[in-house]
Amino acid sequence: MRREHGTPRPGWEKTIEGQGLAYHKAAHPSGLSRPYWDESVHYVLSMDEVEALEEQVEELHAMCLSTVEHVVSAGRFADFAIPEWAWEDVARSWERRDPHLYARFDLRYDGTGPARLLEYNADTPTSLVESSVIQWFWLQDLHPGDDQWNSVHERLIDRWSRLGLPPGPTHFAFTNMDETGEEAMTVAYLQETAEQAGLQTVSVAMEDIGWDSLNRRFVDVEERMIRSAFKLYPWEWMLAEDFGRHAVRHTTWIEPLWKTLLSNKALLALLWERYTGHPNLMPAYLDGPRDLTSYIAKPLLGREGASMRIVTPDVTQETPGAYGREGYVFQGFEALPVFEGQRPVLGAWMVADEAAGLGIRETTGLITDDTSSFVPHRIAD
């Protein structure tokens, strides 16, 4: 694994905007010297490295599913700060094996040893458009003879065709709270892949979904019954809403309710408890840092690197944010590797239960947040 430099394509901004990355400016804080999409650099991996990473993330995914089974069978929902009224519904969702679509592992990897799990974004993962589409066209334009770890698009289409959703259109829900356009474009892209798989689809804002109390069903603005729906609206938000008690029992949601156990950082502690010493894991605990001399405290339901605290013998660093009321996980801390002053985090995509691709974000800081840049990659032996 190495970091290389290259000349950006003339008119690259219009190119990526035309391919769906219309939010690359709005989603990136203003005043930064570096754009969100940065094709002046890229990472090069060998096929051996990619094949090893594929094997590792599929093993991690299997471990995560086994841990969901453990949580359900042992009734350990309180560790995840899930409201007690929803425990049985989460269990039923898992026992039914409600269908799931995709997820993203965030990994620490330097090319010399096993990847280490940072967290699993299994409910509402983003950076999908740039991983699946934008960097693929970059590869075709600048390195057409090389390969890329990227079968996301084809696997999504295949997965939609196999989900076995209820009859009628599948609704694709965005939220009007989205100010950058990232969520809207991500939902639109997934809707396109569903249509390519032959599904009938309808767009709807989460705020426009209504509850028909007489017929006990969710409906859209045209009073059509919502039998199945894709959402980029976190389950923890849904469970806190008035309609949450209906949502857990009505409509087939993608992602399903059982993913509350994979999108919650308490998962890190349970993985370590069950697979202590596994080479792809770092120590993690729910009751404090224990004997860790270097650790990072992560809120169970935090996002974009907010409300985190790094503690080492040499430094203590915190990020602002309003998360943490639900509790924290304390994970062993190893700084991300440095490549030419930048620290990459690897986002390994899963579609269904198979590894599907890679997206890389990098930053100069210890925590990857909304100031990071996305850089493409290629495979060259």
One digit per residue, pLDDT tens: the chain, 381 residues?
Answer: 999 999 999 999 999 999 999 888 877 777 788 999 999 999 999 999 999 999 999 999 999 999 999 999 999 999 999 999 999 999 999 999 999 999 999 999 999 989 999 999 999 999 999 999 999 999 999 999 999 999 999 999 999 999 999 999 999 999 988 878 899 999 999 999 999 999 999 999 999 999 999 999 999 999 999 999 999 999 999 999 989 999 999 999 999 999 999 999 999 999 999 999 999 999 999 999 999 999 999 999 988 888 999 999 998 999 888 899 999 999 999 999 999 999 999 999 999 999 999 999 999 988 888 789 999 999 987
User: What does the pLDDT read at residue 375?
Assistant: 98
Cα 347 to Cα 128: distance, rounded to the nearest angstrom:
10
Q: For the purposes of burial, counting CB atoms within 10 Å of the CB of 288, is it exposed (0-12), middle (13-18) or buried (19 or more)?
A: exposed
Cα 250 to Cα 243: distance, rounded to the nearest angstrom:
10
Q: What's the residue count for the chain?
A: 381
Q: For the purposes of burial, counting CB atoms within 10 Å of the CB of 105, is it exposed (0-12), middle (13-18) or buried (19 or more)?
A: buried
In this structure, which amino acid lies at residue 312?
T
Q: Which two tokens stand for residue 351?
A: 């579609």
User: What does the pLDDT read at residue 304?
Assistant: 80
298 and 290 in contact (C-beta within 8 Å)?
no
User: What does the pLDDT read at residue 365?
Assistant: 85
Q: Please indicate, yes or no, whether the overall pTM of this predicted structure exceeds 0.85.
A: yes
- DSSP-assigned letter for residue 207: G
- Strand ranges for the chain from DSSP E: 2-5, 41-45, 102-108, 116-121, 170-174, 201-205, 210-212, 217-219, 228-231, 252-254, 284-285, 295-299, 309-311, 316-318, 328-332, 343-351, 354-363, 373-375, 377-379
Cα 290 to Cα 130: distance, rounded to the nearest angstrom:
39
User: What does the pLDDT read at residue 177?
Assistant: 85
User: What does the pLDDT read at residue 178?
Assistant: 82
In this structure, which amino acid lies at residue 253?
W
Strands 373-375 and 354-363: antiparallel
- DSSP-assigned letter for residue 150: B
The CA–CA distances, whole Å, from 8 to 182, 209, 285 equal 23, 43, 44
Here the contacts of 8-16 (C-beta below 8 Å, separation 24 or greater) are: 8/39, 8/40, 9/39, 9/138, 9/141, 9/142, 12/37, 12/39, 15/137, 16/134
